[in-house]
Amino acid sequence: MLRCADGTLYTGITTDIGRRLAEHNGEGEAGARYTRSRRPVILAYSEPAASRAEASRREAAIKQLDRTRKLALCGTKA
C-alpha cells in the first residue's frame, strides 16, 4: 500500500516492490494513473504472498476496507 502526497492510499500488487515504487514516482513509463498526480508516493505497508492469485485476493480484500482499517493495517492513526 502506498501513501500519496495528498494523504490518500493506493493498493496494488507487484513482484518487485522497489521497481514498482520507482515507477509510481515517475522513473520509467509505468505507474498507475492514480499516482501520477499524487507524487511523491511512499511505501506504507506490504506483505508477502505465496502466489499471484493469493496476492490478488488479498489486494481485493484490502481495497474493501475503510480508510480507518487501512491506516490501522499500516500502523498509522487516522
2-60 tens-digit pLDDT? 999 999 999 999 999 999 999 999 998 888 889 999 999 999 999 999 999 999 999 99
65's CB contacts (< 8 A; 6+ apart) are 73
- Interatomic CA distance for residues 12 and 46, integer angstroms: 10
Q: How confident is the model at residue 78 (pLDDT cuts 50, 70, 90)?
A: low
